[in-house]
Structure 1
């Protein structure tokens, strides 16, 4: 029976361009998807743009345009960016699609039917000047836990999850006036009633999670699970399917996190297959890939929602949560003007190089620092001087001295054992979400190949000892083929190029492959070009028509 793998990549918020922190957090999902497909598993890999909520509506008011126009712009930009970086989503969608809205409304009806939604009237911040209730992102105030200035949803300083009426000394973001408290009616999700089930889920699965995910989840549980508002006072978002709430919309924490399942349902529906059979199968392994600031939404909130919707739905097995990426050891922020977008990277570097660097320097367990100097050094050392050089000097020599004719396959047991061990080691690391170490192992195999070539010195053998030359060259061609195959989840375009050089066809597999000895080398080109630091321009970036 095929392995069944579900991979949910976090839904970036469609209010600004993707930056390098987004890329570092989301890229592990594509590595997982490509690896498991290569292994022969049945894979579903989904994501989309989070298009609703207050930040978009606030920005739309400033620009005097519709929230939909902003969301559509960034959703398309995100799609283009992910395509340019070779992300292999089965579906990249958006929360503003009619399909998502209709299906998430059915989810909320089912959760209500199961008894986990109730109505509550409460005090809510109200701006007398603007004549409107203030949602969490429409106010600022003081965090009741650490005392830092915060929005009403989550304190960026201590990461405590908040609600608008918890913030001390609330002020309206639009006019700056102090808010007063007025009564307002909302729907609530009874998360507190699921404390036991969520605690059991965390205890059962935390060994598969990174330590920060365990720490944040444990901290959240110790504080005690609180019921969460399901509705908010907005006119942009998913409509509430119950009478009396026509002036409100679903909170994005509810509808966006369930987007994994509306997207999965859409994929399976188009294939004529049953998504719910797939996602309730105990053999389905589930990965969720996101940044540090989204941990509790995937380890606490999502499991609670799934328990309320249908306890048979498979919950997250692996939480692939990344830390932050800093710029030159300084925290990136839009206000500081030091935010490096993915568009800037694509204007300067090849997409394969970008994928390699942000996995080799991935913030898996601690924050990492991005600098152009480090990027250029890694690119030139690992890809140009390591991988590219090994391939080029072998194939160019054969093209020049032997008219591109490849020797018969004659691979030594030692070389084959080294490669087979690499498949096992790297595969195990990828499955556990330890992608950074997996990439280090890939580079170790490249270094092994270069050392073998240098020590064997085939350029001294080709005239005086042709059998020995053929043996060494066969080993090197085998290494080239399998380095391409092993790094295919990380460098898919490069792998395809190398396999074409060597005449390798057939189904993908996570196992040793061999070059085609009947293939004559033709049109051999270098895999990677050297980058000069002076040619890098971080100011290169496509114009953002909504920049304000």
Structure 2
């Protein structure tokens, strides 16, 4: 396929959701952002493998399973079974969805550990660790809360602060308490295994890797803070505790009885093991695939897990002699109607409820695209803004183009298009010239500007319609040629705009392809008009408007456990 670009080979992941519950709307937002970018790359003719998996290990899963009367494997299997309707429902097309509790992940995590050990980056030493004497268990970081040692924020977890982003050991917390029993935990000694991030080789590699201009500006500025020098000009990174004591649901550390990998050690390995599982099923050698020098590797993540992906993960890969990520794409948080999401306060947006109400998933894809950029910025889902953007812009501007002229083509000309006149050719040339900017914006994940530009182009097309008034031309029986030309111009313009929006609205684009009776739309056919004599199909409504009652119902409290409609499940 011919495009404006040389074909690329790309490996893409989104952050692995923790398998202790259903997706929330933040997961869906991230997956939609990644899915749009992947679809865009494929429309350019690039080869993309897009994978994700359930992150299933750790004490939280183990304890949740116990409460449910299930084994951890049974518990996560039940959660995993509920994933597909969400993904299909919002048209998120991963090539493989897997689990970190899979044989490929066990083997790969242990292999990486052994390689790091052979390279001199693994050390063992005694540490004091919090222990819940009431529950009889060493406490995982997420089962300890207290005040952040840096900013003083209360109720922060034992590994990092969600307010200031600080990373620390659980013992650094002020006024710690166990969230399992509410009691003050005891300090007990235990031998733990560390990845020596403080090694000067690690520090030097990470300084160079994080400051070479690849990251978003705000991310580079944030990461730069981690490499501040002390009075002696030294940069110190803390060693990373990668072990947990039994009982623990996870992967055993080789040659260390009773020790398991901390979940954040084996979770990112799931990116690779999920890819390996996909390639194995295709009959493709994983090592040969990863050894391709032209292969690009990207991870879409939220800003709350930045440290794991920008420090620990690339260092693990680099010093175990594996390919490091080409880039990490970081997005901000999502608020709902100006408030942080809170289930107890009813300020969330339930993806299942959205679908069960019969709300079009493409509305949400379009709205997120209209809000997201390539920057690490928080975005807000505002119900009124959502309705206006879908009804006034997406439907009122873009879809309205086809609805205004398709009837004339079908009734007067049996669906046949004709040659364009000079005015129509000028309009189409202007629309096509915008492809360079559209490409740059999609590539930079700045979909808010893509949507803005496409709506501006839609305005130009609607101005063309208003200027030529096909409904007036239709009344003049000797102006049939002119009517057919005007309507053909609008149909061609609609096709170009659909190509620009297809990564955002794949299901709508598929229906447009049926309506236009044309080959699949991608950037290779942008400059190729349907042509005189091409016959389009009958126009059918492509999208309904957002109904106020649906929006009100979406944010109205109701009983949980919504069932997905069969059309979504299928």
- TM-score after normalising by structure 1: 0.92
CA distance in 1, matches of 2:558, 2:544: 19
Q: Give the alignment of 1:375-386 within 5 angstroms.
A: 375-386=386-397
Does structure 1 residue 255 correspond to structure 2 residue 261? no
List runs of 5+ in structure 1 lacking aligned partners.
none
Q: Equivalent residue for 2:208?
A: 200
Structure 1 residues 282 and 130 mapped into 2: Cα distance closer, same or farther (>3 Å)? same
CA distance in 1, matches of 2:495, 2:562: 42
Structure 1 residues 517 and 542 mapped into 2: Cα distance closer, same or farther (>3 Å)? farther
Q: Give the alignment of 1:460-539 within 5 angstroms.
A: 460-462=472-474, 463-505=477-519, 508-512=522-526, 513-515=528-530, 517-536=532-551, 537-538=553-554, 539=557
CA distance in 2, matches of 1:275, 1:436: 36
Q: Equivalent residue for 2:469?
A: 457
Deviations 1:426-454 (A, max 9, x none): 11111122222222222222222222222
Deviation, 1:73, is 2.6
Q: Give the alignment of 1:85-484 within 5 angstroms.
A: 85-149=90-154, 150-193=156-199, 194-204=202-212, 207-222=213-228, 224-245=236-257, 247-310=258-321, 313-317=323-327, 319-348=328-357, 349-362=359-372, 364-408=375-419, 412-462=424-474, 463-484=477-498
Q: Is the Cα contact below 8 Å between 1:122 and 1:183 reproduced in 2?
A: yes
Deviation, 1:289, is 0.9
State the SS of the aligned residue for 2:226: helix
Does structure 1 residue 78 correspond to structure 2 residue 83? yes
Deviations 1:338-359 (A, max 9, x none): 2212212222311111110111
Q: Is the Cα contact below 8 Å between 1:233 and 1:248 reproduced in 2?
A: yes
| 2:21 equivalent among 16, 20, 28 | 16
Structure 1 residues 155 and 322 mapped into 2: Cα distance closer, same or farther (>3 Å)? same
Deviations 1:36-78 (A, max 9, x none): 1111111111111211223323333444433333322332222
Q: Is the Cα contact below 8 Å between 1:217 and 1:300 reproduced in 2?
A: no
Q: What is the RMSD of the two structures over their aligned residues, measured on CA atoms?
A: 2.4
Deviation, 1:235, is 4.1
Q: Is the Cα contact below 8 Å between 2:112 and 2:316 reproduced in 1?
A: no
Q: Is the Cα contact below 8 Å between 2:298 and 2:325 reproduced in 1?
A: no
CA distance in 1, matches of 2:441, 2:385: 25
Task: Out of 434-443 and 424-433, give the one that drifted further.
Answer: 434-443
Q: Equivalent residue for 1:46?
A: 51
CA distance in 1, matches of 2:109, 2:255: 17
Deviation, 1:534, is 1.9
Deviation, 1:109, is 2.2
- TM-score after normalising by structure 2: 0.88
Deviations 1:506-546 (A, max 9, x none): 6844451433654544342111112221233124786179x
Task: Out of 490-499 and 209-218, give the one that drifted further.
Answer: 209-218
Structure 1 residues 147 and 104 mapped into 2: Cα distance closer, same or farther (>3 Å)? same
CA distance in 2, matches of 1:216, 1:77: 36
Deviation, 1:295, is 1.8
Deviation, 1:301, is 1.8
Deviation, 1:263, is 1.7
Deviation, 1:10, is 1.1
Deviations 1:374-402 (A, max 9, x none): 21221111222122211112212322333
Q: Is the Cα contact below 8 Å between 2:139 and 2:178 reproduced in 1?
A: yes
Task: Out of 352-361 and 536-545, give the one that drifted further.
Answer: 536-545
Structure 1 residues 409 and 67 mapped into 2: Cα distance closer, same or farther (>3 Å)? farther
CA distance in 2, matches of 1:511, 1:202: 39
Q: Is the Cα contact below 8 Å between 1:344 and 1:540 reproduced in 2?
A: no
CA distance in 1, matches of 2:218, 2:468: 46
List runs of 5+ in structure 2 lacking aligned partners.
1-5, 229-234, 564-570
Q: Is the Cα contact below 8 Å between 1:298 and 1:316 reproduced in 2?
A: no
Counting matched residue pairs gives: 540
Deviations 1:158-200 (A, max 9, x none): 1212222222332222222212211112211112220110110
